[in-house]
Amino acid sequence: MSTAYQISDETDKDQIEVEELNISLQLGRREIKNYLEYLSDKNLIILSTIGGPFLYGHVELTTDGIKRAKLILKRSNSAR
């Protein structure tokens, strides 16, 4: 979530390329598909386009996804 949030310039306005996102995550095709579908089911992302090497081409963060990403980043920064 935090990686997607940073790629999107910390907004819900930009589509995030799944291929770009997976550069950081380093997941297999099935893993990234399942991960994205889980996040979509939890209403944290929107699966915006289909296609490309990871089945989904682009995702967008929802308002709930942005809140969750901010919380993750805050916890990460306070742990340092």
Distance, in Å, from the CA atom of 28 to the CA atom of 44, rounded to the nearest integer, reads: 21
Residues 3-35 have pLDDT tens digits of 888 888 777 668 899 999 999 899 999 999 999
What is residue 13's predicted lDDT score, i.e. its pLDDT?
A: 67
Opening angle at CA 45, ends 40 and 48, nearest 5: 95
**Is the pLDDT confidence value at 38 over 80?**
yes
Rg (alpha carbons) of the chain, rounded to whole number: 12
Tell me the whole-structure pTM to 2 decimals: 0.84
In CATH terms, 2-78 corresponds, of 1.10.10.10, 3.40.50.300, 3.90.226.10, 2.40.50.140, to 1.10.10.10
